[in-house]
Amino acid sequence: MGSSGMIYFSSVDMDSIESLLLNWRTEFPGMGVLVMVPESEKDQVPELQALCRRHRISLCGAIFPQLIYGTEFHRSGICLLRFDTMPYMALHTGVLDTTAESAERIAAGVSPRLDDDTPATLFLLLDGLLPNIGTLLDELYLRLANRVHYAGVNAGSETFQAMPCLFDNHDMVGNGVLAILLKPHRGAVLEHGYQTQAHALPATSTDGNRIIHIDWRPAFEVYQGLVRAQFGVDITRENFYRYAVHFPFGILRANHCTLVRIPVMLDDDNALFCIGEVPAHSMLTLLEAPRVDSLNTLETLRQGLAQLRGGSAANGLLLFYCAGRKQHMGDAAAEEELRIFSEVTQPAAVAGALALGEIGESTLWGYPLFQNATLVTADWGTGQ
Amino acid sequence: MNRDEVIPILYEMALTIGGESSVGPLLTRTLQRLLYYTSFPAGFICLDLPAPAAVDAEILTARLDAAVGDYQLIRHVGEQLALPRRLLLGPAAKADGQTELLSGMPATQGRYHAFLRLPIGKLGVIILMAPRMPETELPLTLMFEPIMAHLARAVLLCRNNDQYASQLIADKQRADTRAEFLALHDALTGLPNRGLLLDRIQQAMAMATHSGQYGALMTLNIDHFKQLNDYYGYEACDNMLVETARRLETCIREGDTVARFGGDEFMLLIWPLPATQNEAAIQAEQIAQKIQQGLTPPYRLNGRELSASFSIGISLFRAHLDTLETLLRNAETSVYQAKIAGRNTIRFFDPELQSVIMTRLELEADLLRAMPLKEFLLYYQVQADDQGHITGAEVLIRWRHPKRGLVSPAVFIPLAEETGAIVEIGDWVMQMACETLRGWQQHPRMRQLQLAVNVSAVQFHQPDFTDKVCRLMARYGDIAGLLKLELTESVMLDSAEQVIQKIQILKNLGLRFSLDDFGTGYSSLAYLKRLPLDQLKIDQSFVRDITSDPSAAVIIQTIIGMAQNLGLEVIAEGLETKEQLALLMRYGCRHYQGYLLSKPLPIDAFETLFEQGALSLSLKQALI
């Protein structure tokens, strides 16, 4: 099944994939392909790489917990998205140790391919376990500023186990960034719809995506107290993984746009690990009763898309849905959101994945921010 | 206003500002955090603005100290920009719909319509810009006041720190430079030390491996230095070493190295030298002599004058044929030999080279004495035309050495050119030629004879050459048209205009010019065309091969054809056989010189030959 160069196969059959790719190439000789693979099919990637190498077809892609196609989540199969012309793409490793240098390398690769007249989006696929994504975005913004729109998602395992999750024709890596320059492209829209809670406490000690102390006390102890006081729920070490997804932190900003950080792990020192960096000294709030205002969220996305593309009709849409949000809302509510999303946006096709963190701009041409618990959507750029 | 929303932001901003120690990062990070919190996409900072009361104009010039979020603006960081006064100056303010005001911003192309102005105390201003005002219920213009006051103090502290840090860096760089210098130089004289010299010798050896050129290592010691030390004291002798170092530096060529190895031992690396051993030795010897002369003037030590002498040892090297240790040992040995030879002496390590140098030095000394001792003789070699008429002669110099016998011009002329003696010799030859021509004016049959005199390039390029010739012509009357100056193509190495000008001056006096050894040098046709010559002289090497080498024959035909086109006379020298003569005649050459006509003769013999018309009958017939 498929449309607009976005194809989903419910099972990974290399013959079918080969046939599809060769057909595509007949029509688009300079094509390339972005492939999204669910975690359960990750072992198929080497064979896919070999297939693309054999036919000299440019390949990039990532492994996600689940795929999205149409109005459903899929734990198996494979999603192939065609670039009519393969855009600039580069797989960067070593991002964990050298944030500024990595940003410099990414910017150096992208800059020569930018011109002032063509809108472009720097689409980043990142390993979800990278603790320095916020800093990486800060550094990229210092270098590229408003020359590009910023969008992206985190790949990796739903169980937060380290694994190579980004790939191109030759390599499959972890702790990396796959940078794709979509051109012409007008960016992505991102929304979570969470409501903020007034009471805030400072993250007095952080290290990347690890909150060590809140209000000068071990982070987990404070978290337990906040959840108990505000929601009457007792979170223990034993039930942490079941409950924490429903009580995310919010990082406060002056324009009331809160950044969501879902705690996903707990260590022996009672520090909390989140998906996404928590800047040192951030003021944290526990997000109010986690009701997700789906309709409002989806309407915001629709309006955002319409604003980006200037009112033209929807074609293929990329959609990334935060894994934590799905866990919080439950499978049925999440699929309902997908259905309503398709209904309000009326695209020719929707393809994407369950993501472990999302990147978008706070406003049009705004500062790039790393988010959790959001939906990110964008027109599918078919390359240049 | 929700205090819980404001305080966290101020808290984080305060910590960000407090965490920076340099102005650049402080401004950039502050801007970045403001953009992060406020959702304005871009902003900039200008410091050191004039006071509002001091500015009347709508546009003021301000330095852009930082910019974030707008690529076009970022490119102007550090530059002075013309910016709207109403945007920069004034209290904290927030305004939407400011399209006109913001369109006065350079490089932003009307992207922004809303701004937030945050004065940094009296020090400067932060301007955040957006296409439309980001939503907020927070009092942005008020809430950042304490942060801006904090930032103003932080800027001053960071400026002090930057100044201190740059001073530290400059001090460290100076210390590093000094340490690096001392590691490779002698502390007393500032000359390269042993380590640096050895490194340069190795570099020279590596280069010499490819080029095949020689180099020389000279060891120089001050004679009786220990006694000087005892007598004058260490301080005075240290001054002497420093003075010696300075003098040595003026004696060497650019690229050579003079080093001090300690005590009174100096070592000089002379590289490159010519690729033949004898020439390299001669050049090294000349440099050593120059050094010796440079060190000759007395030193002033403690108010007294001291004349010191020096022993110099020279060791030649080429490529990696010798090890560095061997080379240094040879240099040490050579200076030791110089000391044994009586000090104040130059000695080569290689005895054979020493012999070559000694021979040359003796010859040079003899050459300088040859003129006063009247050891030079002039010979005359017949020049004739194709009618069998003797038209004149080339004047050739010979040196009759009392011990060596006749010394070949091929040996002593280059030496005379190197030493400059050629000028005096050339003047004498020209004067003698004039004497001869004047004498012939008394004989009706001989008065039309011409004499050709060789003029060395060294002689020709003397600034007073034309003056001397003019004076000579004034003294000898109307013989200018009979004197022909033979130049070689090497005169053309110098400025063409000067050469042409000199020749033209002398031609105006009636002198004639012939280009000697034509075909072996580097004359370009374009140049030849401009030279006001009268004659080309085909080099004897072509004449010798004309019957055996087709290419020589072709070259001669080409030269003759070219000369005809340029209106020049052609003469062939080195004519030895009738076969050569026949071919030359067939090719159109009408003037000849060589043993076939006559060997060079003393003046009396030449005059007798002319009087008797003694060119052999068969030759005359052949010519006619």
Domain boundaries, chain B: 3-162, 194-365, 380-623
- How is residue B115 written in tokens? 């701004």
- For residue B374, what pLDDT is reported? 92
More confident residue, B417 or A272: A272
- For residue B1, what pLDDT is reported? 47
Q: How many CA atoms, within 13 angstroms, populate the side-chain half-sphere of residue B204?
A: 27
Asked if B41 lies within 8 A of A142 by C-beta distance, the reply is no
Contact status of B71 with chain A (Cβ, < 8 Å): yes
- For residue B63, what pLDDT is reported? 94
CB distance A168 to A86 below 8 Å: no
Asked if B11 lies within 8 A of A281 by C-beta distance, the reply is yes
pLDDT tens for residues A191-229?
776 766 657 787 888 888 899 999 889 999 999 998 898
Mutation site for A-interface testing, chosen from B5, B96, B108 by largest number of A Cβ within 10 Å: B5
Question: Which band of pLDDT confidence, cut at 50, 70 and 90, is reported for residue A384?
Answer: very low
pLDDT tens for residues A54-93?
999 999 999 999 999 999 999 999 999 999 999 999 999 9
- For residue A383, what pLDDT is reported? 42
Asked if A367 lies within 8 A of B36 by C-beta distance, the reply is yes
Q: Which residue of B has its CA nearest to A202?
A: B8
Asked if A256 lies within 8 A of B70 by C-beta distance, the reply is no
Q: Which CATH superfamily includes the segment(s) B3-162? A: GAF domain (3.30.450.40)
Please give the single-letter amino acid code of residue B243: E
Please give the single-letter amino acid code of residue B367: L
SS3 content of chain B, % helix, strand, coil (to 5): 50, 20, 30
Q: Which residue of A has its CA nearest to B135?
A: A255
Q: Least CB-CB distance to A199: which of B4, B37, B131?
A: B4
Q: What is the 3-state secondary structure (H, E, C) of B502-524?
A: HHHHHHHCCCEEEEEEECCCCCC
> Is CATH 3.20.20.450 the classification given to domain B380-623?
yes
- For residue B477, what pLDDT is reported? 76
Query: Poorest-confidence range of A232-236, A257-261, B394-398?
Result: A257-261
pLDDT tens for residues B67-125?
999 988 999 999 999 999 999 999 999 999 998 888 878 777 788 999 999 999 989 99
Q: Least CB-CB distance to A145: which of B5, B69, B135?
A: B69
Question: Which band of pLDDT confidence, cut at 50, 70 and 90, is reported for residue B521?
Answer: low
Residues 82-141 in B contacting A (C-alpha not used; CB under 8 Å):
111, 130-131, 134-138, 140
Q: Which residue of A has its CA nearest to B28?
A: A142
Asked if B74 lies within 8 A of A145 by C-beta distance, the reply is yes
Asked if B37 lies within 8 A of A281 by C-beta distance, the reply is no
Please give the single-letter amino acid code of residue B5: E
Phi and psi at residue A138, to the nearest 5°: -55, -45
CB distance B434 to B483 below 8 Å: yes
- For residue B3, what pLDDT is reported? 66
Determine how many CB atoms are found less than 10 A away from the CB of residue B32. Answer: 21
* Mean per-residue pLDDT over chain B, rounded: 88
Asked if A369 lies within 8 A of B36 by C-beta distance, the reply is yes
Any idea how long chain A is?
384
Complex confidence, ipTM: 0.76
**Which sequence spans correspond to the domains of chain A?**
2-192+294-379, 200-286
CB distance B377 to B602 below 8 Å: yes
* Separation CA B472–CA B478 (nearest Å): 11
Question: Which band of pLDDT confidence, cut at 50, 70 and 90, is reported for residue A289?
Answer: very low
Asked if B12 lies within 8 A of A279 by C-beta distance, the reply is yes
Question: Which band of pLDDT confidence, cut at 50, 70 and 90, is reported for residue B325?
Answer: confident
* Separation CA A103–CA A177 (nearest Å): 10
Looking at CA atoms only, how far is residue A214 from chain B in angstroms?
A: 13
Question: Which band of pLDDT confidence, cut at 50, 70 and 90, is reported for residue A2?
Answer: very low
- How is residue A382 written in tokens? 């078919």
Question: Which band of pLDDT confidence, cut at 50, 70 and 90, is reported for residue B339?
Answer: confident
- For residue B524, what pLDDT is reported? 60
Looking at CA atoms only, how far is residue B6 from chain A in angstroms?
A: 7
Strand (E) or helix (H) holding A354? strand A349-355
Residues of A in contact with B9 (CB under 8 A): 252-254, 283
Q: What CATH number should be reported for the domain whose range is B194-365? A: 3.30.70.270
Average pLDDT of A273-302?
76
Contact status of B242 with chain A (Cβ, < 8 Å): no
Q: Is the pLDDT of residue A16 over 90?
A: yes
In our burial notation (b when 16+ CB lie closer than 10 A, e otherwise), range B447-462 reads: eebbbbbbbbbbbbbb
pLDDT tens for residues A347-371?
888 999 999 999 987 655 678 888 8
- For residue A196, what pLDDT is reported? 63
Residues 506-525 in B contacting A (C-alpha not used; CB under 8 Å):
none
More confident residue, B619 or B390: B390
Looking at CA atoms only, how far is residue A286 from chain B in angstroms?
A: 13
Mutation site for B-interface testing, chosen from A117, A135, A253, A307 by largest number of B Cβ within 10 Å: A253
Contact status of B42 with chain A (Cβ, < 8 Å): yes
Question: Which band of pLDDT confidence, cut at 50, 70 and 90, is reported for residue B531?
Answer: confident
- How is residue A354 written in tokens? 């369950």
Residues of A in contact with B137 (CB under 8 A): 256
Q: Is the pLDDT of residue B617 over 60?
A: no
Query: Poorest-confidence range of A135-149, B336-350, B456-470?
Result: B336-350
Return left, alpha or beta for B378; rule: phi > 0 is left, psi -120 to 50 is alpha, else beta. Answer: beta
CA distances from B234 to A80, B190, B309 (A): 88, 18, 18
Mutation site for B-interface testing, chosen from A201, A365, A370 by largest number of B Cβ within 10 Å: A365
Q: Which residues of A touch B (CB under 8 A)?
A: 138, 141-142, 144-147, 198-200, 202, 252-257, 279-283, 361-367, 369
Contact status of B68 with chain A (Cβ, < 8 Å): yes
Average pLDDT of A266-293?
79
Q: What is the 3-state secondary structure (H, E, C) of B15-80?
A: HHHHCCCCHHHHHHHHHHHHHHHHCCCEEEEEECCCCHHHCCCCEEEEECCEEECCHHHHCCCCCE
Nearest Cα to Cα of residue A41 among A11, A19, A20: A11
Strands B310-318 and A358-361: unpaired
Contact status of B20 with chain A (Cβ, < 8 Å): no
In our burial notation (b when 16+ CB lie closer than 10 A, e otherwise), range B506-529 reads: bbeeebbbbbbbbbeeebeeeebe
CA distances from A218 to A209, A268, B369 (A): 15, 11, 105
Looking at CA atoms only, how far is residue A346 from chain B in angstroms?
A: 29
What is the maximum alpha-carbon separation in chain B?
133
Average pLDDT of A238-260?
81
pLDDT tens for residues B483-494?
999 998 777 766
Average pLDDT of B149-177?
92
Q: Is the pLDDT of residue A373 over 90?
A: no
Looking at CA atoms only, how far is residue B153 from chain A in angstroms?
A: 21
In our burial notation (b when 16+ CB lie closer than 10 A, e otherwise), range B290-299 reads: ebbebbeeeb
- How is residue A182 written in tokens? 């979509």
Q: Least CB-CB distance to A146: which of B5, B38, B42?
A: B42
* Separation CA B222–CA B180 (nearest Å): 29
Q: Least CB-CB distance to B69: which of A141, A200, A257?
A: A141
Pairs across A and B, CB distance < 8 A: 91
Its pTM stands at: 0.58
Asked if B41 lies within 8 A of A367 by C-beta distance, the reply is yes
Q: Is the pLDDT of residue A254 over 90?
A: no
* Separation CA B12–CA B37 (nearest Å): 10
CB distance A356 to A377 below 8 Å: no
Q: Least CB-CB distance to B136: which of A142, A256, A279?
A: A256
Nearest Cα to Cα of residue B109 among A339, A365, A64: A365
- For residue B186, what pLDDT is reported? 93
CB distance A204 to A168 below 8 Å: no
Query: Poorest-confidence range of A378-382, B533-537, B569-573, B606-610?
Result: A378-382
Any idea how long chain B is?
624
Residues of B in contact with A280 (CB under 8 A): 15
Partners of A353 in the β-ladder: A67, A320
Return left, alpha or beta for A25; rule: phi > 0 is left, psi -120 to 50 is alpha, else beta. Answer: alpha
pLDDT tens for residues B244-302?
999 999 999 988 999 998 889 999 999 999 988 888 988 999 999 999 999 989 888 77
CB distance A355 to A154 below 8 Å: yes
- For residue B488, what pLDDT is reported? 85
Q: Which residue of B has its CA nearest to A250?
A: B5
Which residues are within 8 A (CB) of B153 and not within 5 positions of it... i.e. 6 or more apart?
A: B121
Q: Is the pLDDT of residue A111 over 60?
A: yes
- Residues of chain A with pLDDT > 90, as a percent, come to 51
Q: Is the pLDDT of residue B621 over 60?
A: yes
